[in-house]
Structure 1
């Protein structure tokens, strides 16, 4: 069975009509201590180090393009009203398309042909970044990048050396194409922990691999390692640890309506974590 990739009207499902909360409002509940590390580091002993204090709004807020899959779309749609004081968010995402191509399959029986559906995605991202005169771009992937791959007839099970090489090659191609537009800065958004649930109004499959924190950690290790290489001139952008460490938030459908895509509280939490990093020199 081939699952539909996304709802017929994804934006209608994604728009949160609830009340907005400002970035500088009350903070989210503190995460409960967890015995395991969050999967946001390249290695088990790697401690993330990034700014967390919300800086003063800049005189000229940078234009930040969100590229990648529909996670970024929902972040832009449901962003706090005062986010524009810190940055101008540009939705340059491609719904249902991430970094990888090939044919993907889930243990739940869902499958997609990403080459057929998303073949021009990278070119579209580059064109939008250039057209919108972005000062920075955030590559937000993950929803479609956690699965076994079939590429030109060759099977690449997730996490194998062949899969890792394919992922890194696609990442390098994306960075090269985006940098070729003259983009001043590029951030690679590390994946949050997902807690996928099947929802009414979403015709796509459950894709349970998204909820596998070990897979998330593996992709984050590849992204972090790439970002740490000085020659690549990109940065890693860390997501809110609460999506891994605080079940009251990570499983809340007020934060992410399907455990992946952001409603207003989730968008606020994400941007409250991201903005200090994005505005750092």
Structure 2
């Protein structure tokens, strides 16, 4: 019985070796990420591949590392990370996309305006619009628009407001959204000490803002897997109906402050 077992093990090992010889290394160096330095950097790790004698790491099409280590610290904002194992032949690659999800919100209104006033972002960067009166969905709100003047619309006073703040009643939920101005030409959202609570500055055409969606309401250091950073550009000034149009870029990696536009064709 033992002899038979040894024979089968030898055959199985031979099949694995044959597979590697014919089709390259078995498996790929699967990438994992750990966000570090307050969201300004990532520690990249990848799984070992049997038979590999070295690994290559590519960032936005540029090889940044080749060697036997299985981790790499990256502090330069990037869109694409790719890892490949090499051992006579190349393994299949593993790739992570860090680019932001972008979309345009064409009709969001001040709370006394002529349409819906709240927006909720999902973890994959999509959005849903809600009426403030939709109490069954209020836990989904990420922000809403308000000019803090009841029963009227004052276009030059409209702000984005966190759902845990309500000047005219109870908060809508416990999710905290914080606000900052976005630096010119910056690829990284402001650090977490730079945000103001409750509401944004007054919205103006062509202004660019940063959102920190602290969805688990515990800051960054105590857990940031569900903290998301968003860049928002106001495309048109608020009109007399209270309507605001804006484009946003949403970083899907929790805690990461890099917000880079996707490349063309994505």
Question: If the length of structure 1 is used for normalisation, what is the TM-score?
Answer: 0.24
The structure where strand makes up a greater share of residues is: 2
Larger radius of gyration: 2
Question: If the length of structure 2 is used for normalisation, what is the TM-score?
Answer: 0.24
> Which structure would you say has the larger RCO, counting Cα contacts within 8 Å and 6 or more residues apart?
1
